């Protein structure tokens, strides 16, 4: 009996330790500081401090349904009808979106960038990789339409986690934009975590995933299967431009190809020849812009 109790206690300790460690790694992923992001973007020539200071930024504070405030910027152009919302990736913030902001400002779009929950100036205790973020995106969409009208042309551009958030919003909530651009999303969070467990820890996922999933459900209210663009992409009716770098080894380009194949109706795919994760634009600027121009010409009136 004593040996059985010791075994039971050992198993319990293992489950609690593994569940707490890996769910914490997901919920409280280490973020980059504003200074780190700013210096990287400046060093890599994405924008200059003069460009940043000269932007006619209007500060935005939009209440989230989860009790915190979403912080962002609205940068207007002369257009009354064309609006872009840009969603950044995990660990960064709206400073990372400025390069995309510039791209669309040059094409006459009004641009909204904002910080996701637990990033930048926005509140929120945990990161959920699109699960709760998709409802915040819905809130931003509603704010734009309430401010500027429901007959506007509205696009959403997302990078990495921002792309997942964009696709989940479009496939699960309301498909409320005119078009979407999804740059380097994962197709399924559970599959992505299995891949990263193998790469980073060399641990069989069967020893980790069920426990981590249980603790994630208990601690943050959702399970891994709730974050699966692959399960909802077929419901997106509006046009989608899928983008990924062929050299991305953090989120594999096969995931975007899988999403593209499952999307019904209007869609385009751009696989950039160069660049690590989230560097499709940075390493293929002209080709990236051409892919967007062709997509907008074909699908956006």
The terminus-to-terminus CA distance of the chain in angstroms comes to 74
> pLDDT, tens digit, for every residue of 173-200?
999 999 999 999 999 999 999 999 999 8
The least confident of 14-28, 86-100, 165-179 is 14-28
pLDDT value at 8 more than 80: no
Assigned token pair, 277: 């994760």
Q: In this model, does residue 2 exceed pLDDT 80?
A: no
CA dihedral 26, 30, 32, 33 (to 10 degrees): 130
Domain ranges of the chain: 1-30+194-226, 31-188+230-299
Burial class (CB in 10 A: 0-12, 13-18, 19+), 102: middle
Q: Give CA–CA dist 173/126, Å, rounded.
A: 21
Give the residue among 219, 153, 229 at the shortest CA–CA distance from 188: 229
**Fold (CATH) for 31-188+230-299:** Rossmann fold (3.40.50)
DSSP string, 54-81: HS--EEEEEE-TTSSEEEEEEE--S-SS
pLDDT of residue 164 exceeding 80: yes
- pLDDT of 219 reads 97
Residues 29-48 have pLDDT tens digits of: 999 999 999 999 999 999 99
In the structure, what pLDDT confidence band is assigned to residue 202 with cuts at 50, 70 and 90? Answer: confident
Q: Model's pTM, two decimal places?
A: 0.95
Confidence of residue 153 (pLDDT cuts 50, 70, 90): very high
- Region 95-123: mean pLDDT is 98
Q: CA-CA distance, 97 to 270, in Å (whole number)?
A: 19
- For the chain, what percent of residues have pLDDT higher than 70? 96
Backbone angles phi, psi at 63, to 5 degrees: -65, 130
**pLDDT average, residue stretch 21-33:** 95
User: Under a CB-based contact definition with an 8 Å cutoff, are residues 160 and 183 in contact?
Assistant: yes
């Amino acid at each position: 009996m004593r040996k059985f109790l010791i075994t039971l206690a050992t198993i319990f300790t293992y489950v609690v330790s593994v569940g707490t460690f890996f769910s914490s790694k997901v919920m409280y992923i280490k973020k980059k500081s504003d200074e780190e992001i700013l210096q990287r973007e400046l060093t890599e020539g994405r924008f200059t401090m003069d460009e940043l200071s000269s932007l006619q930024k209007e500060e935005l504070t939009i209440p989230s349904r989860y009790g915190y405030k979403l912080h962002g910027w609205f940068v207007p152009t002369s257009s009354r009808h064309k609006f872009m919302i840009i969603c950044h990736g995990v660990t960064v913030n709206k400073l990372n979106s400025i390069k995309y902001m510039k791209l669309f400002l040059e094409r006459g779009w009004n641009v909204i960038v904002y910080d996701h929950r637990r990033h930048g100036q926005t509140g929120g205790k945990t990161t959920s990789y699109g699960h709760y973020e998709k409802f915040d995106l819905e809130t931003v969409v509603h704010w734009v339409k309430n401010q500027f009208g429901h007959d506007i042309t509205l696009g959403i551009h997302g990078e990495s986690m921002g792309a997942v958030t964009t696709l989940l919003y479009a496939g699960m909530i309301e498909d409320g934009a005119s078009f979407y651009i999804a740059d380097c999303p994962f197709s399924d969070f559970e599959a992505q975590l299995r891949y990263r467990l193998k790469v980073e820890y060399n641990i069989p996922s069967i020893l980790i995933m069920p426990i981590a999933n249980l603790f994630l459900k208990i601690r943050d209210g959702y399970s891994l299967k709730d974050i699966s663009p692959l399960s909802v992409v077929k419901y997106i009716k509006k046009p989608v431009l899928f983008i990924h770098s062929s050299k991305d080894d953090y989120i594999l380009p096969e995931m975007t190809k899988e999403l593209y194949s499952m999307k019904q109706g209007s869609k385009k795919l751009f696989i950039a020849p160069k660049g690590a994760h989230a560097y499709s634009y940075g390493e293929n600027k002209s080709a990236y812009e051409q892919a967007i121009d062709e997509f907008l010409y074909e699908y956006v009136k």
